[in-house]
Amino acid sequence: MLKEIHHRVKNNLQVISSLVSMQADNLTDEKTREEFDDVCDRVRSMALIHEKLYQTDDLARLNFADYSTSLLHALWSSHDILADKVRLNLALAPVMLTIETAVPCGLILNELAGNALKHAFPNGGDGEVTVGLEHDAAPNTACLWVRDNGVGLLPGMDWRQSSSLGLRLVQILAGQLHGSVETGTSPGAEFRVTFPLKGLQS
């Protein structure tokens, strides 16, 4: 029964994503259309979690490395023009997460990787985006990080005060995980989200 629930939730989320995408196709304002596309990406990140849980025998947890690989490939595919010259590198440890942890982590990954893809290489420049997932056994924490070799953050920019919805979401979701967000800017930009696994991992 639980497997069927995951399957139905996945299907419902895919319907929502399709409806938003169809609405976006009718928009003439490019900025508004991009915002609708961002919504589709976020819904897809949640639907994929239920799809992965439906496909596994462990209905309580999923391998976040496997999920991340699928999510990122889908993200690169949906932004094929932007991603054409951007190489994706993966360094993902096989960390098992509960659905309560995986959903915010998936949304965080979608935001950070999407931001790198859309903003790190202006004017169709080429470059690399590297995504990593690490598990530190001693304090039992996980670290999800996204790094690019693009133009980096603007000098003097306080990203925590940014008006960007994506960066605000990253802060909110990291807070839900009782985690922290750190940045690096040499070269390009790097975001590292570290969060405890105690009480979040089964």
For 35-53, how does the pLDDT look when each residue is reduced to its tens digit (9 = 90+)? 777 777 787 777 777 677 6
Model confidence pLDDT, tens digit, residues 152-170: 887 777 778 777 778 888 9
Long-range contacts of range 174-181, CB-CB < 8 Å, 24 or more positions apart? 174/104, 174/108, 176/104, 177/101, 177/104, 177/105
- The verdict on domain 2-196 having CATH code 3.30.565.10 is yes
Count of CB atoms situated within 10 Å of the CB of 42: 20
Model confidence pLDDT, tens digit, residues 88-99: 999 999 999 988
> What three-state secondary structure class fits 140?
coil
Q: What residue ranges do the domains of the chain occupy?
A: 2-196
pLDDT top residue among 58 and 41: 41
* Measured distance CA(4)–CA(143) in Å, rounded: 31
Residue type, 189: A
pTM for the structure as a whole: 0.81
